[in-house]
Amino acid sequence: MGDYMFMLESHLSVDQFRVVGEMRDLASEAGINIFLTGGAMRDMLGGFPVRDLDFTVEGNALKLAKAAEKKLGAHLVSTNETYKSCELLLPGNVTVEIAMARHERYTKSGSKPQISPATIHEDLRCRDFTVNAIALSLNKASLGLMIDPTNGAGDIERKEIRATHNYSFYDEPVRMLRVLRFKARLGYGIDERTKAHFDNAREAEMLLRITPDALGAELRHLAQEPNVADVLQALSDEKLLDLYSPALAGAKLNLPEFQKLQKARQLVPAGMQFRLNALPLFLSILLEKLNPKERAVLNKAANLSKPELNATQRLDAAAKKLERELKSPKLQKASQLYQLLVNAHGEEILYLLVDSEQRLVQDRIKNYFQKYLPMTQEVTDEMVAATGVAPGTPKFQKAKEQMILKRLDARPKKPPPLPEPPPPPPTSSFARGPSVRHAR
Ligand code: CTP
């Protein structure tokens, strides 16, 4: 039992693990059973980085979220009253989803389900794929117990995506897009029967029953994918992009730009805090080749909101401004470049890596990711505390920042070029010629 708790500690970031402990204590105080579920369990068992923490509670999730706001300084990002779930952002940039364990009953395929509170076992059995249907108990009496009613752990070991039941794609047809996204992301295969269910659901025209809200939610997920080009390629191969826009099914899908974006995202050092609003960046590439009519079709198909579209429109101008600043001859020191980029929005930086034709701009961003950001890790809290500043205070953060800037500028300059080697001693022209051979 303890093994999974140990695995959790070694797999999550320090902040994520702290939040798991805090949420466990909050739920215990409220007398609610809490489990770590979904993507967090899949990614931990599969050896992938955990992006956000999905908690499922047997009880009132929204009440627990309120307590997290009050006691943990959580910021409420969104609430879903139907599913009794909400998304929170906790200190340390930890994204959390808390959902009520639920039973879903679909009276009609693709329709809104009837939701009722359930046990964790019932909840897991209603989920999409077995790899997403695993829970870890965080409750005192069963701490560290893994609950895996559909043997998702076995499928993770086999690297296979399997639907939890025969109606998975019929209940929620958007899962036909999800399965391809997970396949491309995890590099797993799709189990034969699941493939057959997929084909049957397609034949039965289940794709037409995906609601604009579900298509929009999936588009937002797509925008977050680090390997976005691979996922889009998979969706395009399966001819699923015309659900969003017939134009994207043709030549207007800008895959080369998405490949550049995928490469750019790989430059961001793992484990570094990097603020990225991925949707406007994704949309700006997706919409680039579409004419206004085609854009309107896509906006309607995915029910995109005004603020989302406005943020996309603003990105181009904001990135161009950053490009001008990055070209400035005033940027002499490493610390100046670091300060400019550490305060810039991630989507603007990546936009320039994809779009800018300025060599200097590309080089400066690459230096930031490959040299300067990793260097900031060399300044530890212990080093700052040794100067006598009290940890956890604003003064401490400031002192740390100052130490980082100093270290960046103290980097040894490139070593001077080696002196020219002495010229070789003069020899006969025959010996110097590379291919002169004398016939015997
Ligand atoms: N889920 C489902 N059917 C859907 C959407 C979600 O069964 N149509 C379940 C899955 O168990 C999933 C969980 O809800 O793991 C959380 O959904 P989501 O946040 O969309 O996916 P994650 O698995 O967390 O994946 P990601 O890493 O992309 O966030």
Tens of pLDDT, residue by residue over 45-89, are 999 999 899 999 999 999 999 999 999 999 999 999 989 999 999
Strands 114-117 and 33-37: unpaired
Residue 284 Cα to ligand 1 midpoint, Å, equals: 25
pLDDT recorded at residue 2: 55
pLDDT recorded at residue 430: 43
The pTM of the full predicted model, rounded to 2 decimals, is 0.88
Under-70 pLDDT residues of the chain: 1-2, 110, 411-419, 421, 424-440
| Ligand 1 touching residue 51 (CB < 6 A) | yes
Partnered with residue 405 across adjacent β-strands are none
Cα–Cα distance for residue pair 267/124, rounded to 1 Å: 36
Strands 94-100 and 53-58: parallel
Q: Give residue limits of the domains in the chain.
A: 1-159, 381-409
Cα–Cα distance for residue pair 155/186, rounded to 1 Å: 12
Contact call for residues 164 and 150 (beta carbons, < 8 A):
yes
| Ligand 1 touching residue 54 (CB < 6 A) | yes
Which residue's alpha carbon is at the smallest distance from atom 25 of ligand 1? 39
| Ligand 1 touching residue 102 (CB < 6 A) | no
Residue 182 Cα: closest atom of ligand 1: 28
pLDDT recorded at residue 439: 36
Which residue's alpha carbon is at the smallest distance from atom 27 of ligand 1? 39
pLDDT recorded at residue 425: 65
pLDDT recorded at residue 161: 98
Which residue's alpha carbon is at the smallest distance from atom 5 of ligand 1? 128
pLDDT recorded at residue 417: 66
Continuous H helices in 288-414: 292-301, 306-327, 334-342, 346-355, 359-367, 373-376, 381-385, 394-409
Contact call for residues 130 and 157 (beta carbons, < 8 A):
no
Instruction: Please write the tens of the pLDDT for every residue from 270-305.
Output: 877 788 999 999 999 999 999 999 999 999 999 999
Contact call for residues 93 and 48 (beta carbons, < 8 A):
no
Cα–Cα distance for residue pair 212/218, rounded to 1 Å: 10
Superfamily of domain 1-159: Beta Polymerase, domain 2 (3.30.460.10)
Residue 38 Cα to ligand 1 midpoint, Å, equals: 6
pLDDT recorded at residue 250: 78
pLDDT recorded at residue 415: 60
Which residues, other chains included, contact 43 with Cβ-Cβ below 8 Å and sequence gap of 6+?
Answer: 49, 50, 51
